[in-house]
């Protein structure tokens, strides 16, 4: 198994637990994070090396990433596994999968690459690389079936984990936040490269918003201590250490449950925010090179997962030049002051939650065992 980031680590851990409940003789190794390790996973390379996003950032670490990939291919070809499961990270995993498949190893790819956002040539590359796809979203199977790729819709594990009606008061008590004042969650990304482009933007947005909503409080969960330090530096740069802000390592789910509204960097966190029924504004900034390359290759008119799943932009999005601290603060202010707008988002979020809640780990584990036993 190879998982390249925190969301993949979560998926991998749930899948390993479900597989071990069915087959105690299975052993797992490759690249994974702490949650997979808790399930008995043997780590061959650190997951941290793969946690980069965007062409410019990948190019900077290309040689190191490529060496890890070559080493894994060599190990797995010398001692072929019964099954290889690539968890997301398609740019890294598909090359491994294609080479292993040529040698007769059966391949399951967990989390469909975003072929619905990219040009269609990717489907053929995936078809050459995998035995079976596990798709998280309901519109994906049809795309693979047309290309003759075996696929199973498994739903999304976060929809199983997160309650349909989160307890806001309990979350606020847990985080020791005010019970009766506006709470704004700040989620500027889960990678260092994302914070490099967005930490200052989020801090300046919070400073602008507090001028309009003086009783607001902010909560900012960081994915690692390194990112917590980066955000702290941004607070110092903008003389914002006096902001009413709870900055912490982890506890993103409690932060989202506690918040009235959220400012969220595009990515899996937008789906988590939707599942916690927290009205949000979505934003994203990246290098100019990444932005130009992505515009040429991606053709969807929106970037946030809730909007993609709904097939329309019902959550506000501010990307690149449009992502200014004034625009973001104004969008959050409008959301805080408009009860109907918040309620409209929440209703759409409930529909998305119901659509994705399937018992993902069990469906995925049963499918994996069918592929394994067919070998």
- pLDDT tens digits, 332-363: 999 999 999 999 999 999 999 999 999 999 99
Token pair of 126 as six digits: 């995936």
Q: Answer yes or no: is pLDDT of 55 > 60.
A: no
Asked whether 139 and 116 are in contact (CB, 8 A), the reply is: yes
Closest CA to 245 of 232, 260, 227, 254: 232
Mean pLDDT across the chain, nearest whole number? Answer: 90
Residue 342 token pair: 């918040």
Q: How far apart are CA 33 and CA 39, in angstroms?
A: 10
Residue 215 structure tokens: 């009783």
pLDDT at 59: 54
DSSP letters, 184-217, are EEEE--SSHHHHHHHHHHHHHHHHHHHHH-TT-E
Would you give the DSSP letter of residue 117?
T
- pLDDT band, residue 273 (cuts 50/70/90): very high
Q: Which residue pairs, CB below 8 angstroms and at least 24 apart, start in 46-49?
A: 47/3, 47/4, 47/5, 47/9
In this predicted structure, what is the pLDDT of residue 297?
Answer: 45
How much is the pLDDT for 217?
A: 98
- How confident is the model over 208-253, as pLDDT tens digits? 999 999 999 999 999 888 899 999 999 999 999 999 999 999 999 9
Domains of the chain, start order:
2-155+358-373 (3.40.50.2000), 168-356 (3.40.50.2000)
CA distance 80 to 301: 42
φ, ψ of residue 240 in degrees (nearest 5): -115, 20
| Cα Rg of the chain (Å, integer) | 21
Q: Which two tokens stand for residue 341?
A: 């707008």
CA 372 – CA 170 distance, rounded (Å): 43
Q: What is the pLDDT of residue 113?
A: 79
Is the per-residue pLDDT at 283 higher than 60? yes
Cα distance between residue 274 and residue 277, in whole Å: 5
230 to 249, 250, 308: CA distances (angstroms): 12, 15, 30
pLDDT: which is higher, 62 or 281: 281
For helices 225-237 and 192-212, the axis angle rounded to 10 degrees is 50
Residue range 4-27, pLDDT digits in tens = 887 889 899 999 999 999 999 999
Of residues 296 and 86, more confidently modeled = 86
What is the rounded average pLDDT of the residues 92-118?
A: 87
Whether 295 shows a pLDDT value over 60: the answer reads no
- The answer to whether residue 289 scores a pLDDT higher than 60 is no
Instruction: Say what the pLDDT of residue 51 is.
Output: 55
The dihedral region occupied by 54, where left means phi > 0, alpha psi between -120 and 50, and beta the remainder, is left
335 vs 262: CA distance, rounded Å? 10
- Give the residue-averaged pLDDT of 195-207: 94
pLDDT at residue 119, rounded to an integer: 52
Quick one: average pLDDT of 181-190?
95
Torsion, CA 158, CA 164, CA 167, CA 171, rounded to 10: 10
pLDDT tens digits along 128-137: 999 999 999 9
């Amino acid at each position: 198994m190879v998982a390249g980031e925190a969301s993949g680590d979560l998926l991998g851990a749930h899948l390993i637990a479900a597989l071990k409940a069915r087959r105690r003789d299975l052993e797992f190794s490759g690249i994974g994070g702490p949650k997979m390790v808790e399930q008995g996973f043997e780590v061959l390379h650190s997951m941290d090396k793969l946690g980069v996003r965007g062409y410019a950032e990948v190019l900077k670490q290309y040689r190191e990433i490529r060496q890890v990939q070559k080493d894994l291919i060599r190990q797995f070809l010398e001692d072929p596994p019964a099954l290889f499961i690539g968890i997301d990270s398609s740019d890294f995993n598909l090359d491994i999968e294609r080479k292993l498949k040529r040698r007769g190893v059966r391949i399951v790819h967990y989390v469909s690459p975003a072929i619905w956002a990219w040009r269609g040539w990717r489907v053929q590359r995936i078809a050459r690389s995998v035995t079976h796809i596990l798709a998280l979203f309901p519109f994906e199977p049809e795309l693979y079936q047309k290309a003759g790729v075996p696929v199973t819709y498994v739903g999304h594990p976060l929809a199983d984990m997160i309650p349909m009606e989160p307890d806001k008061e309990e979350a606020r008590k847990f985080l020791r936040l005010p019970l009766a004042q506006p709470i704004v969650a700040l989620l500027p990304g889960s990678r260092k490269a994302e914070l490099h482009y967005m930490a200052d933007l989020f801090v300046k947005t919070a400073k602008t918003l507090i001028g309009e909503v003086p009783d607001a409080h902010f909560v900012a969960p960081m994915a690692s201590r390194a990112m917590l330090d980066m955000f702290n530096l941004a607070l110092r740069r903008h003389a914002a250490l006096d902001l009413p802000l709870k900055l912490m390592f982890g506890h993103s789910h409690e932060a989202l449950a506690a918040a009235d509204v959220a400012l969220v960097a595009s990515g899996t966190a937008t789906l988590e925010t939707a599942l916690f029924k927290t009205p949000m504004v979505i934003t994203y900034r990246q290098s100019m090179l990444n932005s130009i390359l992505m515009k040429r290759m991606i053709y969807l008119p929106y970037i946030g997962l809730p909007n993609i799943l709904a097939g329309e932009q019902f959550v506000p999005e501010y990307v690149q030049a449009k992502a200014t601290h004034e625009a973001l603060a104004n969008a959050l202010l409008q959301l805080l002051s408009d009860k109907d707008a918040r309620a409209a988002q929440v209703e759409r979020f409930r529909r998305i939650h119901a659509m994705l809640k399937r018992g993902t780990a069990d469906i995925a584990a049963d499918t994996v065992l069918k592929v394994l036993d067919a070998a």
